[in-house]
Structure 1
């Protein structure tokens, strides 16, 4: 699967273009409906995923413990692998893990349960957008950037119909799966934490539900990311009206598969939520154009709020990175951080000697930028920017 994911990346993924929809139904027909066009492939993937999660040697994922301030980086666990006595394994990840699966659906690429098992056991498995030094020290999975797919970079936001991080019929994910101590990996000779206690049936069923919620082609769809879409709301991919439209379509076109999937995903009974997204939806590859459109909407509408509970791990990693870099000047960050990391006491004169173009800036500006970079020690962001570039 990794070689085929690499081929998808090299051949090019679809990018967000410009368009306008009068309402959510129109937007679905223009942007989302085609994502489910490869029906036989999607049905084949469904069968492969159901068979995969029911085998004894499956590797499951947990979208947990992938975000913390720098002073708490020792709590991050992306790429950390645990193995239970029955043979099942768990690896921590962030939302980036699901992106190759979405790319394969769009490209009409099916896979077998055996291929998926090989993929999940490959040390080059993509578990995260980036990796901190603390994670890299103990992570089993250290992905190859050549097979790294980031749909955010192409302008997309990966939305889920049934949320990944919450609303399970059992306990919450973080209550069921506590964050293990780093020492449990440090004593391992092969980078795999060995769990002595057998996995409970309740834990296993939750892992199956969680895995399918993350990667199943009938539980996700792509919309333009927030910086490239304007409408009277905050996050189009989490608007209940649009989710209802997508879900209703899937229930008809993939009736048998979706019924089987819903029985495994541990979706608690809930009343139907009727929601309405007023006004047209505008998207563009130009973020500056969308900013103008958003100003227009802000004058006419009060921005909508999300109906559901907060899914704190469902983040657009590139968008977060972009905001941070823009706050300090992305170009300056990329140029200055290596110098300051190597020599934290470097002077402004020494910086200007190494980057002559900075001589034209006022000294107080450079002092402030040096202070921000040094104070925050954005090592995590610097590692991530290599993927972003």
Structure 2
């Protein structure tokens, strides 16, 4: 009998597995229905020897030193500041919108102070900021909203911004200076040897058994544990008894091109044209030296693996029904983006997992074990490629 069954080997599940195994000396069975660790942050070498992110670009950034320090136990870092261009009106301009964006797009020569007035003249008064549309038009006006946000958001979410919560576009700031970094966090870096190697180091403990290609629903009661941490979709845990929570999915087209570089920055967004939302070139992220380059074209989809909870009031109301039911289940913790129906960044998930561990440590008596190697379930699944 394991002390803990953890469902999902992404950030939430892996951090909790490491903490429970190392800090409490307890035995953990970590399962994932996929054939790899790392969840959506999984990276690997493609057939051409280029390191790619299988599920689209993952760029680490945080203002939380404890989170950065915790992950630094498992990886050295490659400093990296993310920059994104948007193809608008036939030009590639910085996004988030900044001083250079406006000057280039409109052929102007504004100063920062002049740009503040320029935005103010175009901003539309909104009595109450409720929707993703409200956020943008109240700051920069209708024209920039149409150029940069409406089309991209409709592709990404399958809904008009007026139907989505304000949090969707509030994530992208508007600047009046020339700072063209996508993020301004204190700590911005990429795991030097990739995310998968970081997860491998995190899970390298004799108290952790990893079973890949293993679905929670297929486990018999004898393979379960005293307590469970569930990081999958909360509605799936309860067999969708109140109905399915809506998610947006993604489809990825991975290609290798016979050129050293394809684009000037890691990501180019396409808010006005194309079916895909963005194109990622990984060598910008990884620093890999190679005479070819790997790209991913990202297509939002209504069907497929759940990636993004769709933020709107009716979906939150449905989630709250599942949340109330989850609170009544003894010895089960629900952690992570899918289990809590929130769009978290990676550092936020790590923070949530560490906070959950602290609550567990305060509330759950520790199991007394010798320091010993745990048995391995599904041994063939442990070849982490």
> Normalising by structure 1, what TM-score?
0.24
Q: Which protein is richer in helix relative to its size?
A: 1
Larger RCO of the pair (alpha carbons < 8 Å, separation 6+): 2
> Normalising by structure 2, what TM-score?
0.24
Q: Which protein is richer in strand relative to its size?
A: 2
